Amino acid sequence: VREIILEREMTNTSENELETSKEDGNNGVDEMEEKTSEDKDKEVLLIQDTGFNIQIIAPNLEPFELPVSTMELVQEIHQVLMDREDTCHRTCFSLQLDGVTLDNFSELKAIEGLKEGSVVRVIEEPYTVRE
């Protein structure tokens, strides 16, 4: 389990502090730095980035496991499959979980029912002009 911590700093600078800094001979730099460091409120947001394995079933291949992260996009799995030697010859395909086609721009954590050991199927699609 990997944890990512994001910090967002919020500063409370009133108009009076700005006016005071303008009147200061140093352009208020020293004074503003002191006030900013005193008035900082830190909001810490904890995001858990958990990894798990899914099973990939592609046509004419043995099923295999693929390690993924909850923060990944479906598109990243798509790219991994195009980069693998045994699946690289397929370039026009979709991924399905329980018969539902996955949106390439969805994060894995947003996909209902996707968990350790879930079976994701590679469905070959017909080539179009866009492809």
Picking from 14, 29, 49, the residue at the C-terminal end of a domain is 49
Helix, strand, coil % (nearest 5) of the chain? 25, 35, 40
- Give pLDDT, residue 36: 52
Three-state secondary-structure class, residue 6: strand
Is there a single domain that holds both residue 93 and residue 64?
Answer: yes
Question: Taking a C-beta distance cutoff of 8 angstroms, is the pair 66, 95 a contact?
Answer: no
Quote the domain boundaries for residue 60. Answer: 51-124
Is there a single domain that holds both residue 40 and residue 78?
Answer: no
- Give pLDDT, residue 109: 92
Structural domains of the chain, count: 2
Is there a single domain that holds both residue 63 and residue 112?
Answer: yes
Is there a single domain that holds both residue 120 and residue 65?
Answer: yes
pLDDT tens digits for range 46-92: 556 789 999 999 999 999 999 999 999 999 999 999 999 998 888 89
pLDDT tens digits for range 13-45: 444 444 444 444 555 455 555 555 545 555 655
- Give pLDDT, residue 9: 43
- Give pLDDT, residue 34: 53
Is there a single domain that holds both residue 63 and residue 119?
Answer: yes
- Locate 86 and state its tokens: 């045994």
| CATH classification at residue 71 | 3.10.20.90
Is there a single domain that holds both residue 28 and residue 64?
Answer: no
Is there a single domain that holds both residue 15 and residue 79?
Answer: no
Task: Indicate whether 1 pLDDT > 50.
Answer: no
Is there a single domain that holds both residue 89 and residue 38?
Answer: no
CA distance 92 to 39: 54
